[in-house]
Amino acid sequence: MRAFIAVAEESSVTKAADRLHISQPPLSRHIRQLEEELGVTLFVRHRHGVTLTDAGRRLLEKARVLTSAAADFYETANETARQHSSRIRLGIHWGLWEAVNQIRVVAAQRPRELTIEATDVFCSDQYNEQLRDGTLDVVIGRPPFDSTALDTVSIFQERLVAVLSDSHPLARRKSIRIEDIADETLLLWDRHLMPAVYDKALDAYRAAGITPKTTPTPGAGPHNHAGLMLVASGKGVYLCIGITSARPAGGVAVIPISDREAAVDVCIAWRKDDASPATLQFLECVWQVFPQERPVPLPASVAKLVNW
């Protein structure tokens, strides 16, 4: 059909072959085979090219309709295959491996095992865009999220931690309050890297009625080596997430902040229009690990998976 349409529109087998990126002999063979199968002469050959016969003209529009329908058929088939795929492309924000691993274990126990393709994501601008354009299916990360294009549910909260020099007087404490480090220099990084954590840190100081002495730090974020050098040298403290007190880095101590305000939401986010079986199956695994107990409005795709 495509060969017939190309020759008809170009009025030349040579030009049609160029258009279809094939050589002339196989194209001529396609046309002869089609004519033999239909029992109809489609073209009159002459030295300047070819001309459609009356029968060819009547069949040309039908051929165009059929090739368009075939293209739609294959596009629908490919989309259906994608929707029924067991693959989920997951973005994981800094320091959330333990939570993701719990979900992975549950997913692996299901009769229809999900293939989880994980990608590290580093800032909200990045993973919001990757969700919107379909590069990622799901992200487990921290706000902000694009509420116009994405459904988002908070699955748990994590405590901010203070990163202190291991020689600091508070280094052996199991937890501290903001007022305990009121006199320490607060090391800050570029806000766009982790806006939720950056804002929560300053909110915790405000809630405690404290205006911290701050200084910007070199490097890309709250866990860079240059910044840790400042902490280990007693030049200041970080408030951050993603470092557990059970596995502190050498030279520093990691102490949870007990103030109520010093907690950040960890969320799962996905496209509003995504109702693919793989995404819904992954969400079911998430709700099994992190049951949604609070009576908050949920997206329709989630509400039917959660028993209130």
pLDDT of 145: 93
pLDDT of 295: 44
> Which letter does DSSP use for residue 257 in this model?
B
pLDDT of 193: 75
**Residue 113 burial by Cβ neighbours in a 10 Å radius (0-12, 13-18, 19+):** exposed
Which residue reads 């629908």 in tokens?
76
Contact, 136 vs 119, CB < 8 A? yes
pLDDT of 292: 72
In order of their start, the domains of the chain are 2-83 (1.10.10.10), 87-157+264-303 (3.40.190.10), 161-261 (3.40.190.10)
List 92's β-bridge partners, or say none.
120, 140
pLDDT of 118: 94
Residues (pLDDT < 70) of the chain are 78-85, 218-224, 243-249, 293-308
- Residue 17: CB partners within 8 Å, gap ≥ 6? 23, 24, 27
Whole-angstrom Cα distance, residue 158 to residue 219? 24
Whole-angstrom Cα distance, residue 258 to residue 263? 9
pLDDT of 114: 82
Whole-angstrom Cα distance, residue 2 to residue 286? 48
